[in-house]
């Protein structure tokens, strides 16, 4: 995955499932890497089950968010 896209703005949806995450709305971040860090370091673990991160026209799910966080932590 291209980590350069993490410099673009992102919208983070959190919830116990995808429907709940969408219903609760998104948090906007100026940079998607900040959204990834927020999701993994500050959000409740249960809210990661339905997590989605929209960057431009791409939507990432929980496993992709975790993977990006591991890459950012290296």
What is the enclosing helix (H) or strand (E) of 15?
none
**Per-residue confidence (pLDDT) for residue 4, from 0 to 100:** 80
Q: Is residue 2 part of a domain?
A: no
Backbone phi and psi for residue 67, each to the nearest 5 degrees, phi listed first: -60, -45
Domain assignment of residue 72, yes or no: no
Higher pLDDT, 17 or 74: 17
Domain membership flag for residue 32:
yes
**Structural domain count, the chain:** 1
Determine, yes or no, domain membership for 28.
yes
Domain that holds residue 17: 11-56
How much is the pLDDT for 73?
A: 86
Helices (H), the chain: 18-24, 32-41, 62-73
Note the pLDDT tens digit of each residue in 1-51: 667 889 999 999 999 999 999 999 999 999 999 999 999 999 999 999 999
């Amino acid at each position: 995955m291209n980590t350069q896209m993490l410099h673009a703005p992102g919208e983070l949806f959190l919830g116990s499932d995808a429907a709940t995450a969408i219903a609760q709305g998104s948090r906007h971040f100026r940079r998607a890497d900040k959204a990834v860090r927020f999701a993994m370091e500050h959000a409740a673990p249960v809210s990661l089950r339905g997590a989605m991160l929209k960057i431009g026209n791409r939507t990432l799910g929980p496993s992709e968010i975790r993977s990006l966080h591991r890459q950012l932590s290296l």
